[in-house]
Structure 1
């Protein structure tokens, strides 16, 4: 029924087992465990762009929280009018909250597909989707410190013995994986909660959801861990480590983009102001100098002192014109 999910999941797992089986022993539990880890990395890498869109959608939801709250207070119990106004708000700002859920929705069938494929690894099975009989036998015989990857801690001792393992081995490997998965889930959720605005965090519904993601979801790894195959616990752990690292990268990238957008107008304005100020100063400076300084090539005459007598022009002289009498010495007796 869900073969369109089972075959791609098993194909990716098969590919990575071929890669790590070439380096390690194909029947090694580490080769199969790394195959599960890189199955996670492959799927999450394909979902990187949708994840970025999800983060942006969540940020827009926080920005629109005051508008949504105002609509709720305005229309109250009129859900139809409320829905219409919400659609208008989303259309105006190009915001679709459903599209941001794509990465989470895609991971659900992948989780189910991996769970189903792992259950198909049974002793004596002729095939398991893209895996042949030899690959099935390799997975069944592989162990991680004595624990089988396709078995669960809660299985009956007879079933564990059928897979050539026991409860003690399963507990020694399974319990640390459960604890590590719970811790990784908690810190991944905490990193997301820290990104919320103060107004969004004060919302009662958001506060309840934050407590659930911080404490209840990690407890699923402890409570449900004994009923999950070890390979699923490895998947859970790797998925949360990837999510935590991806969140840091994407949030840092978005913060840098927003800082650049916010800083661009300020830089342009300050540059324009500085340019206009320097131009005005450049224009004002020569004018000021022309009023206070002599022109080039001349020396400033000392100001006349108040106690010195003012000069008087001789009769017949043009006021303000100084005659050149240097030639009088050359031709004595001549008058000018």
Structure 2
């Protein structure tokens, strides 16, 4: 029963992923051999870019929620001082504060949670393709090509680190898998570290939210590092490219729209001041008033002669 429920949930993802994957494969097959590892690896990278581009609205929501969490940390600490003796009341007041601010402490996990079913679907797609089984629009012929595609000519992208341990395993697969696991772990750590070091104010580095961020900083890389030894090469490529996308996306947002009171905001202010100085604009200096031109009177123009008022005959006789 649970297998049928899981298949029903994963079936739409298989179709979506396979459509994008096969579409990129047809594109790259125009210049590369269809059964080459390069064509399929580039297709996986293309799939990653499409998925991450589709998740940009969710990323923007995550950034806004994270910023709101940072800004309300002083209020959270006030609640802790006020209701520290009553944990139930503290939890209730804290949730009310989160609701008023339009945020929650788990918003930073949303992109990862959304990607996990996609990640699992790609994992299953690669695993089944290595046995020649078709999923979605991936035909048996394409599934066979996908399962047997080799990176660098000798590293099948469907192989795993664990599957090649021992005497009969491939040393090349083990080496490439270790490099990709380390790259995936390092980029996961650097992504979280980038957010904490650059876009969190000093007063937000303490309290429950900061503890949650610190926990994610160290726990997530360990989880993916340990689990990565069982991931196929193709899945490791997907997750590493996804992390690199996240790093670039965060760098752009933090650089151009940092949270107030953070090191990134200070750096942006310094850049803006330097840019203004290069343009010759001194910050805070009053603008020069426009020069007023006083026109000289026209001495050649004579005033018009004033005409006498018209009078009646009786008035003229009287005068």
TM-score (norm 2): 0.71
Larger CA Rg, structure 1 vs 2 = 1
Tell me, which stretches of 5 or more residues in structure 1 are unaligned? Answer: 264-272, 283-295, 297-336
Alignment CA distance shift 1:225-1:86 (3 Å): closer
Give the superposition deviation at 1:91. Answer: 4.6
Give the superposition deviation at 1:27. Answer: 0.7
Q: In the comparison of the two structures, how many residue pairs are matched?
A: 265
Deviations 1:213-260 (A, max 9, x none): 444433344433221111111012101100000001122232399889
For the pair 1:198 / 2:202, whether they are aligned, the reply is yes
Counterpart Cα distance in 2 of 1:95 and 1:143: 45
Paired residue for 1:15, among 23, 27, 37? 23
Give the superposition deviation at 1:62. Answer: 0.8
Counterpart Cα distance in 2 of 1:86 and 1:253: 30
Paired residue for 1:26, among 29, 34, 40? 34
Alignment CA distance shift 1:103-1:204 (3 Å): closer
Counterpart Cα distance in 1 of 2:96 and 2:226: 43
Give the superposition deviation at 1:122. Answer: 3.0
Alignment CA distance shift 1:104-1:220 (3 Å): closer
Give the superposition deviation at 1:30. Answer: 1.1
- Once the two structures are overlaid, the 10-residue window that deviates more, 73-82 or 39-48, is 73-82
Counterpart Cα distance in 2 of 1:52 and 1:221: 24
Give the match for residue 307 of structure 2: none
Alignment CA distance shift 1:88-1:173 (3 Å): closer
Give the superposition deviation at 1:23. Answer: 2.2
Give the match for residue 156 of structure 2: 148
Deviations 1:92-140 (A, max 9, x none): 4444555564323211111111111111113443x22210011012112
Give the match for residue 306 of structure 2: none
Alignment CA distance shift 1:169-1:67 (3 Å): same
For the pair 1:180 / 2:188, whether they are aligned, the reply is no
Paired residue for 1:122, among 115, 130, 134? 130
- Once the two structures are overlaid, the 10-residue window that deviates more, 132-141 or 77-86, is 77-86
Give the match for residue 84 of structure 2: 76
Paired residue for 2:143, among 136, 141, 157? 136
Counterpart Cα distance in 1 of 2:185 and 2:213: 17
Counterpart Cα distance in 1 of 2:211 and 2:104: 23
TM-score (norm 1): 0.68
For the pair 1:65 / 2:73, whether they are aligned, the reply is yes
Alignment CA distance shift 1:174-1:99 (3 Å): closer
Give the match for residue 256 of structure 2: 253
Contact 2:18 2:138 in 1 (8 A): yes
Counterpart Cα distance in 1 of 2:118 and 2:111: 11
Contact 1:65 1:200 in 2 (8 A): yes
Matches within 5 A, 1:1-336: 1=7, 2=9, 3-76=11-84, 78-79=86-87, 81-95=89-103, 101-125=109-133, 127-145=134-152, 146-155=154-163, 166-194=169-197, 195-203=199-207, 206-207=210-211, 209-210=213-214, 212-255=215-258
Give the superposition deviation at 1:44. Answer: 0.8
Counterpart Cα distance in 1 of 2:165 and 2:259: 55
Deviations 1:26-83 (A, max 9, x none): 1111111111112111111111122112111101101101111212222235455445
The root-mean-square deviation of aligned C-alpha atoms, in Å, is 3.5
Give the superposition deviation at 1:154. Answer: 1.0
Counterpart Cα distance in 1 of 2:113 and 2:165: 36
